[in-house]
């Protein structure tokens, strides 16, 4: 009876790819990492394998030595550098997308579904068509899926996104006069809470604190850490304080100008933090030491 052969163990620290590259897809600012066997430079159009199928992306960061610490989950491969045939097919897919959008919208209207169609996208090999939509409620799209499968060739995927993702896809101009942060540079959405507005001593007017998506503005998070440092150990609003032998209520504070508004039945004062807290050295320090 022959002895069982020992199982060959995979050597430790074996890298699946010698290089990794970061690429961006059309309409997205987020860079995704892919493994590759060749080196690519910034601006190269390459064909990659994604969870949705084959897609063309543009190299954002040139090839780097593969680093497992920078990879989250399974890394997909780069298939090849995009050829003229690939680029031509991509243009053809963009034209077919317009037709598919019209067909899908007509079908939605006919079935009277409560959903707002945003975009349509073909994978490079046309094996899948992805429709993105927004809806306040859950939609029973089984009838829509059946009709689209008969009208269009390929697998149909219907993807529901929230109002913030819709604003990112559609874009627009914010109240600051610039393009919305979500479509201009944000790659992921962080949690934004009403406590951030309270921390920045803003009036709790939801209509002014909300963006075009109807949710709290993403920019509320940008300065929240700085306000947290500036407000550290300061008294709360409406707290009682003694100043020049009299009792006052702190009705408001401007932490950037380092000024507080004091009120009592007799008078109203605007007092700097230097006068109000003469022994607090941390309050008088420059904001240049704030964390980045």
pLDDT at position 280: 62
Residue with tokens 């009403």: 194
CATH class entry, domain 88-161: alpha beta
| Angle, CA of 27, 86 and 105, to the nearest 5° | 50
Residue with tokens 């702190």: 250
Rounded CA-CA distance 115/212 in Å is 18
pLDDT per residue as tens digits for the range 140-192:
888 898 899 888 877 899 988 888 887 877 778 888 888 888 877 777 788 88
Rounded CA-CA distance 275/258 in Å is 10
Rounded CA-CA distance 204/237 in Å is 14
Q: pLDDT category, 131, cuts 50, 70, 90?
A: very high
pLDDT at position 78: 93
pLDDT at position 74: 82
Do residues 63 and 38 make contact, with C-beta atoms less than 8 angstroms apart?
A: yes
Do residues 58 and 44 make contact, with C-beta atoms less than 8 angstroms apart?
A: yes
Residue 47 has pLDDT above 70, yes or no: yes
More confident residue, 30 or 21: 21
Domain assignments of the chain as residue spans, ordered by start: 19-82, 88-161, 176-222, 234-289
Rounded CA-CA distance 156/146 in Å is 9
Contacts of 234 (CB under 8 A, 6+ apart): 253, 255, 283
DSSP E strands, 147-245: 155-160, 240-243
Q: Which helix (DSSP H) or strand (DSSP E) does residue 253 occupy?
A: strand 246-254
DSSP sequence for 51-96: TTEEEEEEEEEEEEE--GGG--SPPPBEEEE--HHHHHHHHHHHHH
Q: How far is CA 142 from the centre of its chain?
A: 30
Chain-wide mean pLDDT for the chain? 83
Count of residues in the chain: 292
Residue 22 has pLDDT above 80, yes or no: yes
CA distances from 206 to 120, 176, 211 (A): 33, 17, 10
- pTM confidence score: 0.65
Mean per-residue pLDDT, 52-72 = 88
Mean per-residue pLDDT, 65-79 = 85
Rounded CA-CA distance 148/155 in Å is 9
Most confident stretch, 2-11, 34-43, 250-259: 34-43
């Amino acid at each position: 009876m022959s002895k069982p052969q020992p199982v060959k163990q995979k050597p430790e620290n074996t890298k699946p790819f010698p290089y990794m590259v970061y690429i961006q897809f059309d309409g997205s600012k987020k860079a995704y990492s892919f493994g590759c066997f060749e080196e690519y430079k910034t601006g190269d159009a390459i064909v990659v394998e994604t969870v949705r199928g084959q897609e063309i992306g543009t190299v954002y960061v040139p090839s780097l030595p593969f680093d497992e610490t920078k990879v989250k989950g399974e890394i997909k491969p780069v298939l090849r550098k995009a050829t003229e045939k690939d680029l031509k097919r991509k243009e053809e897919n963009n034209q077919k997308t317009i037709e598919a959008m019209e067909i899908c919208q007509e079908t939605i209207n006919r079935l009277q579904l409560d959903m707002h169609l945003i975009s349509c996208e073909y994978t490079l090999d046309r094996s899948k068509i992805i429709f993105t939509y927004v809806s306040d409620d859950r939609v029973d799209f089984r009838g829509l899926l059946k009709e689209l499968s008969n009208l269009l060739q390929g697998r149909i995927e219907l993807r529901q996104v929230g109002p913030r993702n819709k604003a990112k896809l559609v874009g627009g101009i914010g109240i600051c006069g610039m393009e919305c942060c979500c479509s201009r540079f944000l790659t992921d959405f962080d949690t934004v809470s009403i406590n951030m507005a309270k921390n920045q001593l803003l009036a709790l007017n939801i209509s002014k604190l909300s963006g075009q998506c109807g949710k709290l503005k993403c920019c509320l998070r940008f300065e929240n850490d700085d306000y947290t440092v500036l407000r550290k150990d300061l008294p709360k609003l409406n707290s009682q304080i003694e100043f020049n032998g009299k009792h006052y209520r702190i009705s408001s504070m401007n932490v950037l100008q380092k000024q507080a508004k004091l009120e009592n039945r007799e008078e109203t004062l605007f007092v700097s933090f230097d006068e109000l807290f003469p022994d607090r050295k941390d309050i008088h320090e420059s904001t240049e030491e704030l964390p980045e």
